[in-house]
Chain A
Amino acid sequence: EIVMTQSPATLSVSPGERATLSCKASQNISSHLAWYQQKPGQAPRLLIYGASTRVTGPPGKFSGSGSGTEFTLTISDMQSEDFAAYYCQQYNSWPLWTFGQGTKVDSK
């Protein structure tokens, strides 16, 4: 099983600043990585797939990078609606999908 490790577990960011989240895979997953945002009481929402292809949000808000085993999600100009939990997920090891344990981004 491919283990996904996210860091940090909690990230405190001031409004207007940029947040940088990390996700590492225990094996090479190429670019088969997705990022999700989840707010309390809500279902996760797909933000990025293919490690860097943005699904939603204004241009420049959410950006993903990386390949192989190391990946990054960058959230620019943090606003109140961006404070949430973020999960990475690998889909390279089909049919066994695994998620990271999540990073909670809160307001400093």
Chain B
Amino acid sequence: QEQLVQSGGGVVQPGGSLRLSCAASGFTLSSFGMHWVRQAPGKGLQWVAFIRHTGNNKFYSDSVEGRFIISRDTSENTLYLQMNSLRPEDTSLYFCAKGNGAFDVWGQGTMVIVSS
């Protein structure tokens, strides 16, 4: 069945960088749009970034534009989120998700803590 397995995350100092990974199985990334969504502790869901199935178009929320980069490796069938210039307010549980409209498959989530 379709599945997303995440890795990466951890504790990083403000201004630091981190890369999240999301390995897909049961489907190919080149056929579907993919997203990153985050959830701050005790808060709701916030969409972060999207990459089209072609890989040519990428979109970001205003809060991460210019700092985060979404990418994918089709040979590994893996989605990535490179997070640079991290801020304390980026502390969240990060999910990858599949879908062009509604998000029908989600990863298990990985925690990112930005703290000195």
Residues in A lying within 8 Å of B, measured CB to CB: 32, 34, 36, 38, 43-46, 49-50, 55, 87, 89, 91, 95-102
Contacts and interface: CB of A to CB of B under 8 A. Distances in A.
A87 B45 contact: yes
A31 to B, nearest CB: 10
Contact of B95 (A44, A50, A89, A91): A44
Contacts of B59: 95-96
Contact of A34 (B50, B103, B107): B103
Interface string B92-114: 00010000011110111100000
A97 B95 CA distance: 15
A98 B50 CA distance: 12
Nearest to B107: A43
A46 to B, nearest CB: 5
A102 B59 CA distance: 24
Contacts of A100: 44
A46 B46 contact: no
Contact of B106 (A45, A50, A87, A91): A45
Q: What interface size band does chain B fall in? A: 10 to 19
B4 to A, nearest CB: 9
B47 interface: yes
Given A43-B95, A43-B109, A97 B47 contact: yes
B72 interface: no
Contacts of B44: 87, 99-102
Contacts of A32: 101
Contacts of B109: 43
Contacts of A95: 50, 57, 59
A100 B101 CA distance: 16
Interface string B65-102: 00000000000000000000000000000010000011
Given A43-B95, A44-B95, A97 B50 contact: yes
B102 A91 contact: yes
Contacts of A101: 44
A32 B102 CA distance: 8
